[in-house]
Chain A
Amino acid sequence: MNYMPGTASLIEDIDKKHLVLLRDGRTLIGFLRSIDQFANLVLHQTVERIHVGKKYGDIPRGIFIVRGENVVLLGEIDLEKECDTMLKQVSIEEILEEQRAQQQAKLEAEKAKLQALKERGLSVPRADVLDEY
């Protein structure tokens, strides 16, 4: 049982490989080397993993220092199970290309939706100009 409260419970996770999901949507994988009371993380040999569909690509990034408030979640990676994945690793260029295509498709879909709504006289208000919840 981990009796350590709060961020101290991360101490048990030090020097283990972790997957960290950030608020901007990035996925980092690295060895957790150091923490502090705000759960700021020091990740070592970090790799940014981009997922598109069933493919993924790793971009090596080195050492990351992540401010604690930007972490959505993190979890330890079981090194043995890391290999049994359905996902297929591709090169960085390919995955970036895929990602670009995905963003493009999403943008176009969004535009088409907005256009359709406009034609029907409806509008989706932007969140920042919305007065009510």
Chain B
Amino acid sequence: MSKSDQQEVECPLSHSEWPEDGGRWSEEEDGDEVEGCGLLQEMVEEDEEIDLYNEETFGLDLYTGVEDAEGDPTDLLIFCADKSPAPSSPHPCTPSSPSLPKPGPDPQIQPQAWLGMQARERGNKERLGGRGKMFDDPAVMRTVEGRPSLKSLDSAIVDSGTSSSWQDKDSDAWVLSSYGTQRCIAGSILQDKAIVGVIDRPAPGRILPTTLDFLSPLQRPFPAFRGAAPGKRSGQHEQLSTRPFGQRYLSQMQMNPMIPRSPVRPQQQYGQCGGLRSPSSCPRPPVSQAFTPKMMQLRFGAHSPTPAPFYSPSANPVQRFRFPGHVTQLHPQHRRLLSQRQQRAHRKTESWDPHSQLMSLKEKEWIIRLQMIQLQSENPHLDDYYYQEYYQRMEAKLAEELLGDRAKREPPKLTTPYVTKTDSYTPVVHIEGSLGQVAVSTCFSPRRAIDAVHAHCPEEEQKDTRQQRLAVLHNLEKLFMILLEVEEGERRRTTVFREGERSRLREKMQRRVELIYRQLQHPVALESGEEFLPCLLVSKGKRLLARLIPFLSHDAALYILSIVTSHLPVLMSRDTDEALPVLYPSLCTVIGRLSFSQLIGLLRNFTSTLPETKESQLSLACQNKFGISLLYALLSQGERLLSSEVPMEPSIGDFETWTETVFQVARQLSQCSLVEPLLLPSNLLSLFCRYLDKRTVHQLENSMERSATGCPAVPS
């Protein structure tokens, strides 16, 4: 858009006064000095407050850079010094409104404003070498100072300088733009204090928030602005005081070497705001560097101007960057890295894009600040451990590389609080009466694997019968395992078809069986004692034997049977859980294979009398289920043998013993009450019939039947 168009749109009425050629703007310059005017003086002061306030919001937005001759016209925030004051008429103007009425402004003031602007422009041009158009941005239709309404005071509104509503408060408080600060500062250029500052275009270099300033941590809270500006305080103070960064911005703005200043002004400003500056003289960021022209070029682009000759940056004692916000809590190493990177980076502007740089640096930084504020924490090492740790290690590594010290090679160890072991714990706990170990969980071994071994030494505790019993049980456990193996092997043997394998298997199983037999016969832990007795006394042992007997040879089984019968009273008396009957089936099978002589031998055991009690074993047996069943089984076997036609080979005196036994049994059975046997062989009666008279047989029959009510009769 051409300048003329803009000017037509923006200032239709003052068109005649506004020469098209920017270079001629300065011709009608420096009219009146408004500094002498008291009213304006007040306004100026008020403007300062407003400006300060606005800087708190965005800081110095105006002198972010200098427009070069090529012209980068995107500047929404250009204000012209339109001092159409409140008394005349409201000026509801926004930069974007297309048609702005400009009813009869005070012709006196207006030219002053424009003149002042022209002066400013000239000054700018002089300094900057030919600044041309001011309102190149087609989006900017008209810029008017706005009263700092509530909307404009809201920092969220970027364009706070322009308010759509024009409020009349005081007749004398005519409204200046919120960015009118620059009047005070740029006094050398613009003698007219009433002129609202013109915001320079941002630097042609792409404006990245290259600040290092806001890399420095937030050191102190900002006291509310109680400016040293003298004079009246208006209600804007309250609003100002809510902005925490005003002081900083003011000081930054002042210290900014980029701001064109008069030689006189800075001191005045210093003096004026000395009170401001001191609290805000925060520790310089560690990476603050001298503001050399070269660096400025790097930061602000190749076309950034050198500072004004009357004001050299090195003379500035306060080297603060003008960028706001030290709200980021970056690790110093991180900061250093970023600053290095920023120094290296040098971005050229996209000169082909006329609309670039719409967002000013201030605005970008504001967003960054906003986001970074949320990351602040009082305990960064706790909240962001990995970040801190990473940079610490990087720092250490770099330091090591720099110093060349290889000694401290090892990385920093993770320190954990040292937990002292209070007591030594017993890894193995043996509870009395338990078999083996008990799982005890401690904090050092929460799930300890226990071994199925005795925790104590078996030789020492032989005398203790309980220990003995435990030893027996322990043995039995082991033998059971082997027995299971044997049974499994037997099962497999039936399925295996190959002869060789079968025989191999059989031999293997036989060996196992013999091992069990031996172990049961002579348990290792016991010094002496009857064979098989210890295991027989325990119900588990009985079960084991019962399962083992089918695998034994006939002689071995017979031996066991004889042991059982000979120790029957002991077994019966100590059979507390009545486990004896488990032996019955397997013993029955053994009995079924007995020869007559063997049978007689066994029966002799029955008829012998016990030495202590004088009771016959027989009578005891009749009281016991197992005993009587065994007896019946034996008698039945005898009867079977006798009645069968297989020739027997009886020894001498066998038959007599047999007959005697039968009589004895008959007598016993008739005398005492019988218990129910496990099995009642049916050939007993025929046996008795052979030897006894009918009456006795009947008696026996009755008594036996009485006892055997629930017992299944088995035909033998």
Contacts and interface: CB of A to CB of B under 8 A. Distances in A.
Contact of A6 (B206, B330, B358, B371): B371
B135 to A, nearest CB: 19
A45 B375 CA distance: 35
Given A14-B359, A15-B350, A8 B371 contact: yes
Contacts of B208: 11-12
B357 interface: yes
B367 A5 contact: no
A15 B368 contact: no
B367 A8 contact: yes
Contacts of A33: 355, 358-359
Contacts of B367: 7-8, 11, 35-37
Given A11-B368, A15-B356, A44-B358, 17 more contacts: A3-B330, A3-B334, A5-B371, A5-B375, A7-B367, A8-B371, A11-B208, A15-B206, A15-B353, A15-B357, A33-B358, A34-B359, A35-B359, A35-B367, A36-B156, A37-B370, A44-B355
Contact of A34 (B330, B363, B370, B375): B363
B141 to A, nearest CB: 14
A113 B374 CA distance: 51
A34 B358 contact: yes
A124 interface: no
Contacts of B356: 15
B209 interface: yes
A34 B207 CA distance: 13
Interface string B325-346: 0000010001000100000000
A35 B374 CA distance: 18
A31 interface: yes
Contacts of B358: 14-15, 33-34, 42, 44
Nearest to A35: B367
A129 interface: no
Contacts of A7: 367, 371
A127 interface: no
B582 interface: no
Interface in B182-238: 206, 208-209
A122 interface: no
B372 interface: yes
Interface string B369-390: 0111011000000000000000
Contacts of A73: none
Nearest to A42: B358
8 contacts: A4-B371, A4-B372, A6-B371, A7-B371, A11-B359, A12-B208, A14-B359, A44-B358
Contact of A4 (B353, B355, B359, B368): B368
A11 B370 contact: no
B368 A8 contact: yes
A3 to B, nearest CB: 6
B350 A11 contact: no
A12 B206 CA distance: 10
The 7 closest A-B pairs by CB, nearest first: A6-B371, A15-B356, A8-B368, A33-B358, A8-B371, A34-B359, A5-B371
Nearest to B353: A15
Nearest to B360: A34
B492 interface: no
A36 B367 CA distance: 6
A3 B368 CA distance: 10
A31 B355 CA distance: 9
Interface of A: 3-8, 11-12, 14-15, 31, 33-37, 42, 44-45
B694 interface: no
Specify which of B330, B350, B356 lies most central, judged by the most chain A CB atoms within 10 Å of its CB.
B356
B667 interface: no
A108 to B, nearest CB: 45
B448 interface: no
A35 B358 CA distance: 10
A36 B363 CA distance: 8
A44 B371 CA distance: 25
B338 A37 contact: no
Contacts of B363: 34
B511 interface: no
Nearest to B335: A3
A36 B371 CA distance: 10
Contacts of A36: 156, 367
B72 to A, nearest CB: 12
B574 interface: no
A74 B160 CA distance: 29
Interface in B255-304: none
A3 B357 contact: no
A11 B334 contact: no
A81 B356 CA distance: 22
B504 interface: no
A12 B355 CA distance: 16
A103 B156 CA distance: 41
Contacts of A45: 355
A12 B141 CA distance: 29
A42 B358 CA distance: 10
A6 B368 CA distance: 9
Contacts of A5: 371-372, 374-375
B364 interface: yes
A7 B364 CA distance: 10
Contacts of A12: 208
A44 B364 CA distance: 18
B3 to A, nearest CB: 22
A72 B128 CA distance: 45
A5 B209 CA distance: 14
B207 to A, nearest CB: 9
Contacts of B375: 5
A90 B588 CA distance: 104
A7 B208 CA distance: 15
Contacts of B359: 11, 14, 33-35
Contacts of B370: 8, 37
Nearest to B357: A15
Given A15-B353, A31-B355, A42-B358, A3 B371 contact: no
A33 B74 CA distance: 11
Contacts of A4: 368, 371-372
B139 to A, nearest CB: 9
A129 to B, nearest CB: 40
Nearest to A15: B356
Contacts of B371: 4-8, 37
A4 B366 CA distance: 12
B355 A3 contact: no
Specify which of B156, B209, B368 lies most central, judged by the most chain A CB atoms within 10 Å of its CB.
B368
Specify which of A8, A33, A35, A42 lies most central, judged by the most chain B CB atoms within 10 Å of its CB.
A8
Contacts of B355: 15, 31, 33, 44-45
Contact of B209 (A11, A15, A31, A34): A11
Contacts of B372: 4-5, 8
A31 B368 CA distance: 21
Interface in B413-469: none
A76 to B, nearest CB: 14
Contacts of B206: 15
Contacts of A8: 367-368, 370-372
Contacts of A44: 355, 358
A5 B357 CA distance: 21
B343 to A, nearest CB: 15
